[in-house]
Each structure stands twice: as C-alpha cells, then as structure tokens.
Amino acid sequence: MSIPGLGQLAPTAPPIATTASTASAPTTTETLEPYWEYRFDVPHGSTLAIKLVSGTAEKDGTELAPNTPYAFTATKSKINTWHGCTLEITAPSSGTYDAYTSEPTADETPLVSYLNLHFKLESLRAAAQRGARTGPRVLVVGPPNAGKSSLTRTLASWATRMGRQPLVVNTDSREGMLTLPGTLSAAVFATLIDVTTDWGSLPSSGASAIPSDDNPKLFKRLLSRLAVAATSRLAEDVDVRSAGMLIDTGGVPTGARGPAYYDFVAHIVSEFSVNIIVVLGSERVGSEMQKRFAGQTTSVGELVTVVGLEKSGGVVERDEAFMQSIRESAIREYFFGNTRMTLSPFTQQVDFASISVWRINEDGGGILYDEGDTHTDLLEKAEPSMMIQNCVLAVACASVNDSPDTILDANIMGFVYVADVDEKRRRLRILAPVSARLGDRPLLWGSWPEHMVNLLI
C-alpha cells in the first residue's frame, strides 16, 4: 500500500543515495563490533550517505543491502549490527550532521529483548496459523521519547522478513503512516520497508501536540471506525489474520492530560481486541497498565498481557520546530515527490459554489434542539474564505449528498492543497495529485496540521 508522493514501502530499484555534488564529499569508514550502533542526526537541508561495505547491519529491523548507498535527510536514527559490520559514511557537501558510535554489549542493548519479543510473537502467529485463529494484537505505549514508533517499525520489519503480513495501525495523528500528518491509518506490510523513509520520522515519539484531548468524542469515534476496518481486513485475509496487528500510539502526556490518554488506551484495547500491551521505557506507565488491565480478557476470552521493555539509549527528543518541518516536508513530498520520484500536481481553479467543504467542529458544537436536548455535531458545513488558504483538505470517499455522519466516517482517498483564495471572485486555486472533479466529493477541513507556507514559492 502506498499513497502517491509518500513512497513508504521499499522501492524495486536501489535507492538513489547521492548527487554529483556529494560524490566528492568527505568519506569515512566506521567499523562496528557486534551489538554496536551507529547513531546519526541529519538536519533539514543536509544529506548523509551510508553504505554497508562488509558484514550485516539493519535499520529498524530492515537489512541494509551490501554496497548500496542510502541517503538520509531530516532524520535522527540509528543503524545497528548483530554480528559486526563496516560502514562507509559520506558526509554532506553542504550543511552539517552529528553522529557517533554506541558500544553496548549483548547484556546492555535492549535490542536483545526486542528480538525475544519478536520470537514470542512468531510462536503465537504460528499457533494462530495452525488453529485458523487471529494472531497477536500488540499495542505499544510509553512516555515521550521512548522509541515507540521505532519499535513498532522494527517488529513489523522482522515479521515481514519471516514471510508474515502484519496489519500495522497508527493511532498517533501527530505523524502520518503512509499518509499525511493529522490522520489515523492502517496498512498491511507484506514487503520490506524502505530504509531511508520512516513513517514516524525518528526513533522516538513526543507528547501529543494535536487537539485529540480537546475533542475526545471525535478521536474515539475515528478510532472505532478504524478498528472496524482493521478487524474486517483480519477476517477477510487468512495470512493477515494469523500475523495479527501492531498498533503504535503517541507519548503519554504529563499533568492533567494523563487520565485522558489512559482513557484512549482503554478504548483502543477494547476496540481492537488487544491482547498484548508493550510498555516501553517507563515503570510508572507499566504499573498503570497492570492496574488497569490485569485479569482483563478480550472479546474472545484471551487474557491481556502487559510486557515491560527498556527503551533504547539512542532515542532523541524532537522540538516543535523540527516536527513542524517534518510535517511540511511530508506535505510537500505528497504533491511534488522526492529525490527518487518527481511528481507534477495538477492546478485548477474552482468556484466556491462548486465544492462542498466541511469543517471539523473542534468543540463538538453543543447545538440546542427542541425539548431542551443538547446534541453535538462533529462536522459542519463551511464557507470557503481566506482562512482556508495554505491549508490541506482531505478528500472523503463519500458523496456530497451524504449525511454529515456518513462523511465523517468515510475513508480518505487523498488530499488537496488550497494555494490561493479570491474572495472577490469567489474562486479557489487548488493543487491536487490527479486531475479530477472536486465537486463530486466532500472536502474535510481540520485545524491540524497548521497552515503551511505557500507550497508554490
């Protein structure tokens, strides 16, 4: 599964690593002993090329092909080796980067415990396959900067290398998986994941910066809708059913928002019938999970198991400026592509009256009806205005004649970008990945991600 402009799955051709300008850039060699890691931080505007010269190495569970250069930009990640390797590092010709070698032993690295978890999941998948049952449904939780997305990605990569097809679910709308930020998504992973592209961008997860806590009704509703789609896929495909699910989450917030987070976790456990909760990097969160779910069973009578794991020492903290740059890069890539694939979006002028724009009601509405009953409308019709300029709108897989509830529950078929608004002429200039009539589909306008700078500059 892939959305145009977001090539998250492994390309069929070797990745393009360097341009002519980086061919003459300084090159160094790093020799790693077994269990060592090469950790690197590449800012926006810089490109670091890494090539495996000898031995074996992997990034988040995906093996590096020998003598194939990989280009990394705007990322903070790591490459680890189980048996030792030699890497050739080509520094950016312009810009900077930060990198160092971590030297843990087998007893010190948490990767061994991650691998043990993988083997346990494999035994459960094999048993599920023999008995025509559903495989493990694993939920990864933990505090910010614990490496939840990296662990989920690693477990998915190891599963695909074993010939499995796990269903990976992203419930952290701060970061997109195979789609743009601001969405929830699920996809079956049946092939190797592209080494140079992360769905979570970094081996860490920060505190939620989106208004899910401000609109819990909407968030829970979307989670339930996603759970219906995910469980339906498990029921339809025997290979996916035996492989089970891997569910990523956002970081546990501190302070007053903590109880709401645990409420969301309980909702996910119930809706997705989670039977394994992996707590990464926090005894406190692990204790809370034990208290809430000890002795609890799934809808099919399975006990919910809580597993605690140590976080990797290589996870890093990401500030909001870096995360905003990541979001803008993802949106720009969706419309214009990247170094491996250049895209040319279609530009069209549309009248206000020819499109149907619906806005997410952040406060739930609180509309008073007859007999004193108060109802909450999560979706309301919106009139295009200057407020919509430089915003990304989601194209719903629904009809403009459908009810607001149907539109809200519909899957998203793609995105468009509002480049210009002419209120006097009542016209919009819109960028879209394909040439298609927008008037046939409802357009959803949310308050997050934030407005972008002009993509056409």
pTM to 2 decimals? Answer: 0.85
Taken as a whole, the chain contains a residue count of: 457
pLDDT confidence of residue 363: 59
Contacts (Cβ under 8 Å, ≥6 apart) of 347: 419, 429, 430, 431
Q: Is the pLDDT of residue 1 over 70?
A: no
pLDDT digits (tens, 9 = 90+) for 32-84: 999 999 999 888 888 899 999 999 999 999 999 999 999 998 888 899 999 99
pLDDT for res 20: 38
| pLDDT score of 54 | 97
Express each pLDDT in 271-282 by its tens digit: 999 999 999 989
- Tens digits of residue pLDDT in 234-255: 999 999 999 999 999 988 877 7
Band of pLDDT at residue 146, cut at 50, 70 and 90: confident
At 203 the pLDDT is 34
What domains are there in the chain, each with its CATH number? 20-106 (2.60.120.1030), 111-309 (3.40.50.300), 345-445 (2.40.30.330)
Q: What confidence score (pLDDT) does residue 104 get?
A: 94
For the chain, the first-to-last Cα distance in angstroms comes to 31
CA distance 326 to 336: 15
Q: What is the pLDDT of residues 92-144, one digit of tens each?
A: 877 788 999 999 999 999 999 999 999 999 999 999 999 999 999 999 999 88
pLDDT digits (tens, 9 = 90+) for 390-438: 889 999 999 999 999 899 999 999 999 999 999 999 999 999 988 888 8
The sign of the CA dihedral 345, 350, 356, 359 is: positive
- Comparison of pLDDT for 455 and 61, the residue scoring more: 61
pLDDT in tens, 162-215: 999 999 999 987 777 878 888 899 999 998 878 877 654 333 333 344 445 567
Classify residue 453 by burial, with Cβ atoms within 10 Å: 0-12, 13-18, 19+: exposed
Phi, psi at 420, each rounded to 5°: -155, 145
> Which pLDDT score is estimated for 280?
94
pLDDT score of 9: 41
pLDDT at 85: 98
pLDDT digits (tens, 9 = 90+) for 359-403: 987 655 443 334 444 444 788 899 999 999 988 999 999 999 999
